[in-house]
Structure 1
Amino acid sequence: MNILLIGSGGRESAFAYKISQSPRNTQLFIAPGNAGTETYGKNINIKVTDFEAIGRFVIENDIKLVVVGPEEPLVKGIHDFFLNNEQLHKIPVIGPQAQGAQLEGSKDFSKQFMLRHRIPTAHSRSFTKDSLQEGLAYLADKQLPIVLKADGLAAGKGVLICATLEEAKKELKAMLADAKFGAASSKVVIEDFLQGIELSVFVLTDGKDYKILPSAKDYKRIGEGDTGLNTGGMGSVSPVPFADDAFLKKVEDRIVIPTIEGLKTDGIPYKGFIFIGLMNDDGNPYVIEYNVRMGDPETESVLPRIESDFVELLLGVAEENLAQKTLKVSEKTAATVMLVSGGYPGTYENGKTITGLENIKESILFHAGTTLSHDEVKTAGGRVLAVTALRDNLLDALQQATADAGRIFFDGKNFRRDIGFDLID
């Protein structure tokens, strides 16, 4: 069958890698893709939110399955666009409709959902510009540090952890009164700070049943030792050593099952991935956030460990028979190291020539922010390449990925050399 994958980052590179391995795949198209996805299919120059152009392409190229990578087209209703179009409504789309996508599109919506279905999460309240004074008074009574979250999508920048009351009040005013994150912060969720260690659990669901994919942990800070500014992710590992069977059983019983059942109870159709960002607080899981797609760079660690036919799993979602599909996961460990542009996550330059890609023999290379220009691979984003090693143990995987990250070159290249080493005893 012909398959269309929507997106252009490292996550989509990993999707393309797995989809291309399936005997069910005849031709894979990626819109818009990057310099690396061309290895696995054909790039199509269509924006992820140009639903009309995507629809025309699907009809003209006999696409039988559409897989949506990033959150923006889901929140903006690409699945609904297909369902409401007479020529497209029978084409399966992997990714929730706009209502379900509000689990990520609105922090307030997701908090209310968790409260309604008794899913463990930090206590919170939401405020708007009209209730700013109430929000400031609320902050004065809260324990520090405190978390401020822009309600809407803010390109991964809308979450602030404030260490002092003065800082919290200043930031709340900036978000609500001064629109620091634009429309995304027209409502702000003030949330108690959770102590513990973070991890991510990924669920694939057809709306009735589910499969829990491998767990992963990512590293957000730009600097080694988890210092400096937050980024979109500097690396990841899967599985997470401290997420043993007992802990993951708690996650399933207390979070995954109530989430799936809650969607059913609320009448919210959902076909796709659910990313559950968790805090392990003394052996008990609490939800930090939902995302309605796979994470990046976690996907680059998770998907290489899936040994099942990935397209078969996706078809299980499309045909609502996921329970009949087999999920086989490798016992090996995956470690991913991100190469980023100099200056990232601040100001950085694009268009730097990348060399040394041919040096990578023992790891899998997933392109994130790259483009092809006159047969040369160039940088085209803050996060440029993901280097993933799959090995029998965490130390070997980390050493291989880190070594291979050093074998690639471009002006200003930066990467962390300590990804995952905090998890080694």
Structure 2
Amino acid sequence: MKVLVVGNGGREHALAWKIGMSPRVSQVFVAPGNAGTGVDATNVPIAADDIPGLVNFARQESIDLTVIGPEVSLVAGLVDALEAAGLRAFGPSAAAAELEGSKVFCKNLLKAADIPTADYQTFRTGDDAARFIKDRYPEENCEVPVVVKADGLAAGKGVIVCSTREEALDAIDRITRQREFGEAGNELIIEDRLIGQEASILAITDGNAIVMLPAAQDHKPAYDGDKGPNTGGMGAYCPTPIVDEKMIEMIQENIIVPTVHAMKRNRRPFKGVLYAGLMITSTGPKVLEYNVRFGDPECQPLLMRLKSDIMDILEAVADGRLIDIDPPEWDERPSICVVMASEGYPGDYVKGREISGLNDAAKLKDVKVFHAGTKLTQGSVQTNGGRVLGVTALGNSISNAKLQAYTAVKQIRWPGAWCRKDISDKAL
């Protein structure tokens, strides 16, 4: 069978790599792909948001299943367009994808379904939001533990964690007046800041049955010790000891199942990956946000550990028969993904810098270098994004996996390359 993976990041490289291992798959296409997917699959020069182009390609090539990676494509309705053309797809409809596409919709659904989350207020104008902050915190130098969020999609960067009144007002200004996140800032949320450790819980669902995946922990802030601005994710590891089997069961019962039921009641039945970003607080897990696709970089360490044929899962979801398949099998060893980024990320950065050492890193045992922001130019692999590579490794322990991943990182070079040095230290 033929499979089309949509996207050009590290998540899509990991998906194409794992799908290509299935004995049932004869060819994997990636649209538009990157330098890494060009090695493990066949790249197609169609943008991830070119819905007519993707549908036409899938029809012409008789694609048996399209797997959509990025949230932009899902929110824009790629699954709907494929299914309307009689083609199978893995991912939620545009209506269901609003769970990620609108933080206001998500928070309102959580509240209506009595799913644990932070208290919040929504605002349509910066003036109203600023007035709320000034009324609630009248003293200029007082502590203001809030999180200000742009409503729409902002590539993981539209969430600003604040500690002071000045920071909160500045965040509101950046979102609503400076329009730092464009139309994503047409509405915003101000919510109470939760205290604890973050964890990522991914579940696969066809709208009825649910398969829980091992817990992972992402590292959103740019710098060591969780300092600096938020990014799309600077690394992840799986599993995370802060979420044990008992907590997984509690999260499934109190968060995932009620969310699936609430979406069905809203006539937006959900199928695909339901990714809950959680804060593990002293009173239990609470939902920070939902994503409607595999996380990036969480997807990379997850798929490194997956021993089952991923096509069994993807097809079962697309066909609505997830209840019929066996639970997936996982490698007992933990895995770690370290993101190597371009100088300047998450701000402005330079593209087109030549990357060396990829072959040396690939020779290391239990290491896979997933490409994210790369391109192939006249035979050389060059940087083409902020997050460039996801260096992923398995190990007999978390510390061993970390050592193996950073050993591979040291093999890879380009001008301005950098990474966090503390991925997985929370587990140690």
- Is the shorter-chain TM-score for this pair beyond 0.5, marking a shared fold? yes
**2:128 is the counterpart of 1:133:** yes
**C-alpha distance in structure 2 between counterparts of 1:421 and 1:251, whole Å:** 24
2:236 aligns with: 236
Q: Which residue of 2 aligns with 1:262?
A: 262
- Maintained 8 Å contact 2:129/2:172: no
Match of 2:96 in 1: 100
SS at match of 2:11: helix
The separation in 2 between residues aligned to 1:111 and 1:225, in whole angstroms, is: 28
Decide whether the 8 Å contact of 1:217 with 1:298 is kept in 2: yes
Deviation at 1:108, TM superposition (A): 0.4
How far apart in 2 are the matches of 1:351 and 1:380?
6
Counterparts of 1:6-85 in structure 2, within 5 Å, are 6-84=6-84
Per-residue CA distance 1:185-215 (angstroms, 9 max, x = gap): 1111111110000010001111111111121
Among candidates 377, 388, 399, match of residue 395 of structure 1: 399
Opposite residue 196 of structure 1, the aligned amino acid is G
Residue equivalent to 2:422: 418
Separation of aligned partners in 2, 1:282 and 1:74? 34
Corresponding residue of 1:198: 198
Shift of 1:284: 0.8
Q: Which moved more, 1:45-54 or 1:168-177?
A: 168-177
How far does residue 124 in structure 1 lie from its aligned partner after superposition? 0.7
Q: Please say if residues 336 and 387 of structure 1, whose CA atoms lie closer than 8 Å, have aligned partners that are also in contact.
A: yes
Aligned to 1:116: 112
Task: Give the root-mean-square deviation of aligned CA atoms.
Answer: 1.5
Deviations 1:384-417 (A, max 9, x none): 1111111121010001101110011111111222
Retained in 2: the 8 A contact 1:127–1:135? no
Cα shift readout 1:27-53 (whole Å, capped 9, x = no counterpart): 110000011112221000000111111
**Correspondence 1:383 to 2:387:** yes
Deviations 1:212-263 (A, max 9, x none): 1121101122222222222211111000011111211211111011111112
Q: CA deviation at 1:138?
A: 5.1
SS of the residue 1:389 aligns to: strand
Equivalent residue, structure 2, for 1:348: 349
| Alignment TM-score, normalising by the size of structure 2 | 0.95
How many pairs were matched up?
A: 419
TM-score, with structure 1 as normaliser: 0.95
Determine helix, strand or coil for the equivalent of 2:278: strand
Per-residue deviation at 1:82? 2.3
Displacement of 1:137 in angstroms is 2.7
1:271 matches 2:265: no
1:282-361 map, 5 Å: 282=282, 284-326=284-326, 327-360=328-361, 361=364
Instruction: Call closer, same or farther: CA 1:414–1:138 in 2, change over 3 Å.
Output: closer
Given candidates 364, 380, 385, the residue that maps to 2:368 is 364
- 1-structure distance, mates of 2:397, 2:242: 14
Letter of the 2:56 partner, please give it: R
Cα separation, 2, equivalents of 1:328 and 1:73: 29
The residue aligned with 2:140 is: none
Query: Matched residues in 2 for 1:187 and 1:163: separation?
Result: 21
- SS class of match (1:22): coil
> Which segments of 5 or more consecutive residues in structure 1 lack a partner in the other structure?
none
Aligned match of 1:91: 87
User: Does the 8 Å CA contact 1:247/1:283 hold for their aligned counterparts?
Assistant: no
d(CA) in 2 for partners of 1:349 and 1:108?
Answer: 34
After superposing on structure 2, the runs of 4+ consecutive aligned residues of structure 1 that deviate more than 4 Å are none
Letter in 2 for 1:240: T
Which amino acid is the alignment partner of residue 390 of structure 2?
Answer: A
The 2-side partners of 1:204 and 1:330 are apart by 18
User: In the alignment, which residue of structure 2 is the partner of 1:225?
Assistant: 225
Unaligned runs of 5+ in 2: 138-142
Letter in 2 for 1:379: T
- Amino-acid identity (%): 40
The verdict on how the C-alpha distance between 1:342 and 1:177 changes in structure 2, with shifts beyond 3 A counting, is: closer
Match of 2:411 in 1: 407
- Residue 264 of structure 1 deviates from its aligned partner by 1.8
